[in-house]
């Protein structure tokens, strides 16, 4: 074992023994988030979290012993606060990673049927623009970690559809950047059955196809590892929905 590996092993052992144990109880996590807002007494924490005073004191003792929480006497009471607010940042990152792995993607293709039949992305559902508002109730019933992606040949019609869903308080609605044309610009270069062509109007499909194969084309579900892509993270999951009828190891 190298010196660097040995040092890492020691750090991870300390992390597991101290931090992971401290974070292995949901009530301690709730305490940490409560103290992230402001300093509080045991009584205030008891009232906010609805947990008995002995239980709050016991969990605070665990957090204090591991240097995550500090206490300072204020008259007859002790005010508790987080020792380092970076702890909240770390927990928020872990929560985001957890939600990222649970994302459900719903792709809504709002193009006319002929274009959709020629080519569409795998698992994309065609929804005519004039029927989009009828779909709102169904979209609100999707799990809170659902992300909706609207797509048209470019971004013009998708943007109008986006406005409709935003006005209906549908969360996590995005537009496929560059539309289907932009997708094909990237992924269809080697497909001999798909060729670029000149168009006279915005919003038209800028490619012609050997056959109307829909999602049967390979570029409908490409292997991203075969392409040199530069991703810019843009999705920020909103977990609140509009009204509708353990440890580290």
Quickly list DSSP for 175-220: E-TTHHHHHHHHH-TT-TTEEE---SSTTS--EEESS--BTTSGGG
DSSP symbols for 56-101: HHHHHHHHHHTTSEEEEEETTEEEEEES-THHHHHHHHHHHHHHHT
Helix (H, G, I), strand (E, B) or coil at 159: helix
| CA 131/CA 98 separation, integer angstroms | 34
Task: Report the candidate in 202, 190, 180, 200 with the shortest Cα–Cα distance to residue 115.
Answer: 180
- Domain ranges for the chain: 3-95, 102-226
| CA 158/CA 248 separation, integer angstroms | 42
pTM: 0.56
Binning pLDDT at 50, 70 and 90, where does residue 235 land?
Answer: low
Residue whose entry in the numeric block shows the structure tokens 């605070």: 60
Task: Report the candidate in 160, 198, 194 with the shortest Cα–Cα distance to residue 179.
Answer: 160
Stretch 164-192: mean pLDDT, rounded? 94
Task: Report the candidate in 68, 73, 77 with the shortest Cα–Cα distance to residue 35.
Answer: 68
pLDDT at 242: 40
The domain at 3-95 falls in which architecture? Orthogonal Bundle (1.10)
DSSP category for residue 40? B
Stretch 19-27: mean pLDDT, rounded? 87
CATH number of 102-226: 3.40.250.10
Domains 3-95 and 102-226 share a fold: no
Please state, rounded to an integer, the average pLDDT across all residues of the chain: 86
Per the structure block, which two tokens stand in for 191?
Answer: 């497909």
Per the structure block, which two tokens stand in for 56?
Answer: 């709050």
Tens digits of per-residue pLDDT, 109-130?
Answer: 999 999 999 999 999 999 998 8
| CA 139/CA 162 separation, integer angstroms | 13
Helix (H, G, I), strand (E, B) or coil at 13: helix
Stretch 218-235: mean pLDDT, rounded? 76
């Amino acid at each position: 074992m190298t010196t660097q590996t040995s040092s890492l092993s020691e750090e991870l052992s300390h992390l597991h023994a101290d931090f992971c144990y401290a974070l292995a109880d949901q009530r301690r996590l709730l305490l940490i988030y409560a103290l992230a807002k402001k300093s509080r007494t045991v009584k205030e924490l008891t009232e906010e979290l609805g947990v008995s005073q002995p239980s709050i004191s016991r969990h605070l003792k665990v957090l204090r012993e591991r240097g995550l929480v500090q206490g300072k006497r204020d008259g007859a009471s002790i005010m508790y606060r987080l020792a380092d607010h970076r702890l909240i940042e770390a927990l928020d990152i872990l929560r985001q990673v957890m939600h990222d792995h649970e994302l459900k993607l719903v792709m809504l293709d709002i193009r006319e049927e002929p274009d959709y039949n020629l080519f569409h992305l795998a698992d994309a559902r065609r929804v005519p623009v004039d029927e989009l508002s009828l779909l709102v109730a169904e979209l609100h019933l999707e799990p809170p970690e659902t992300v909706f992606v609207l797509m048209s040949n470019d971004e013009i019609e998708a943007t109008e559809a986006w406005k409709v869903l935003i006005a209906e308080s549908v969360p996590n609605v995005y537009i496929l950047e560059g539309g289907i044309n932009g997708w094909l610009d990237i992924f269809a270069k080697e497909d001999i059955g798909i060729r670029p062509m000149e168009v006279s109007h915005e919003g038209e499909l800028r490619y012609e196809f050997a056959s109307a194969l829909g999602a049967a084309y390979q570029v409908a579900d490409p292997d991203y590892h075969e392409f040199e892509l530069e991703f810019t993270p843009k999705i920020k999951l909103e977990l609140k929905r509009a009204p509708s009828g353990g440890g580290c190891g």
